């Protein structure tokens, strides 16, 4: 049963990051390799904020979301905007380079050693639910994720800006002819996606207790896999993919003999290859050839 909870938590974290991937890819067809590093930024921001927040700790998640939004928008404007019309590989390499920069700068100025992060008492306080006792954070993470997931989905599918995002995703020229400002739409997508990734960092640090400058790499890659499973460019797909991957990973480690536990990553990537071969567009994916 504890396994289920772990799967739920892990899945939620992957989902939060995956939504961002999908948003960004959907709008500008860019695989943002540096997306996972936003998790690291969120985690370290949390560390910093914890030292000054004191009793106002409830504000921290909100601030982290804000930091994520601003950082994401800034990165888009300064680094990615100029390669927006370049071939996909160029964009990918630029995001890869940015990731290297962020990780190395992190190591240089924050130290390569892992730091411990402890969220306020509230998160570790035990809660009784369905006959089990668990730390509050195990409830907070999935609940927050689901709430945010629903909010983002409603935003994308019911709001004016969301419609603009979907229009840009489908046909960039036609969207421009409607008077939609591509720059603004892209900025919103980046900001929103990055905010969620930063929040995931907050939760990751809180749940696992340890953060370091390269913590974003592996989860980032896995979140990308989750996005692929669910279908790149689809928000519900990203959410579903995140949970599927989280569950698959935990189940794999949980139910196989311990010698195989270290093959976990091999398993995850193996799954990726299989999915890419059978159904590359994932569960809900859009076929990117379609984009005008």
The residues that touch other proteins, with contacts defined as CB under 8 A, are 31, 79, 82-83, 86-90, 92-94, 96-98, 100-101, 104-105, 107-108, 112, 160, 163-164, 166-167, 170-171, 173-181, 217, 221, 224-225, 228, 262-263, 265-266, 269-270, 272-273, 276-277, 280, 286, 288, 292
Of 144 and 171, nearer to other proteins (C-beta) is 171
Number of Cβ atoms within 10 Å of the Cβ of 209? 14
Q: How far is the CB of 19 from other proteins (least distance, A)?
A: 18
CB 69 within 8 A of CB 195: yes
Q: How far is 200 from 202, CA to CA, in rounded Å?
A: 5
Q: How far is the CB of 231 from other proteins (least distance, A)?
A: 13
DSSP state of 281: T
Could you tell me the two tokens for 71? 């950082």
Q: How far is the CB of 61 from other proteins (least distance, A)?
A: 30
Which residues have CB under 8 Å from 103's CB, separation 6+? 37, 40, 213, 214, 216, 217
Closest CA to 38 of 50, 46, 30: 46
Could you tell me the two tokens for 19? 């939504």
Q: Cα–Cα–Cα angle for 292, 227, 162, nearest 5°?
A: 55
Of 1 and 292, nearer to other proteins (C-beta) is 292
What 3-state DSSP class applies to 284? coil
Q: How far is the CB of 151 from other proteins (least distance, A)?
A: 20
Of 159 and 210, nearer to other proteins (C-beta) is 159
CB 199 within 8 A of CB 152: no
């Amino acid at each position: 049963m504890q396994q289920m909870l772990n799967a739920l938590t892990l899945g939620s974290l992957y989902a939060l990051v995956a939504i961002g991937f999908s948003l960004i890819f959907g709008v500008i067809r860019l695989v943002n390799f540096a997306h996972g590093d936003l998790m690291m930024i969120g985690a370290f921001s949390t560390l910093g904020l914890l030292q000054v927040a004191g009793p106002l700790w409830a504000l921290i998640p909100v601030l982290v979301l804000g930091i994520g939004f601003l950082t994401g928008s800034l990165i888009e404007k300064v680094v990615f905007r100029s390669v927006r019309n370049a071939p996909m590989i160029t964009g990918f390499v630029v995001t890869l380079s940015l990731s290297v920069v962020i990780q190395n700068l992190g190591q240089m100025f924050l130290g390569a050693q892992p730091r411990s992060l402890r969220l306020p008492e509230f998160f570790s306080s035990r809660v009784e639910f369905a006959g089990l006792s668990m730390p509050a954070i195990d409830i907070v993470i999935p609940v927050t994720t689901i709430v945010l997931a629903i909010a983002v989905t409603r935003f994308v599918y019911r709001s004016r800006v969301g419609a603009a995002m979907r229009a840009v995703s489908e046909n960039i020229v036609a969207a421009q002819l409607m008077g939609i400002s591509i720059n603004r739409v892209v900025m919103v997508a980046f900001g929103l996606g990055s905010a969620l990734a930063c929040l995931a960092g907050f939760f990751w640090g809180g749940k696992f207790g340890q953060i370091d400058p390269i913590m974003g790499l592996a989860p980032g890659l896995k979140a990308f896999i989750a996005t692929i499973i669910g279908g790149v460019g689809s928000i519900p797909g990203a959410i579903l993919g995140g949970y599927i991957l989280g569950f698959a990973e935990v189940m794999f480690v949980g139910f196989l003999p311990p010698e195989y536990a270290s093959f976990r990553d091999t398993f995850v990537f193996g799954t990726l290859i299989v999915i890419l071969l059978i159904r590359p567009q994932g569960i809900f994916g859009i076929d990117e050839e379609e984009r005008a």
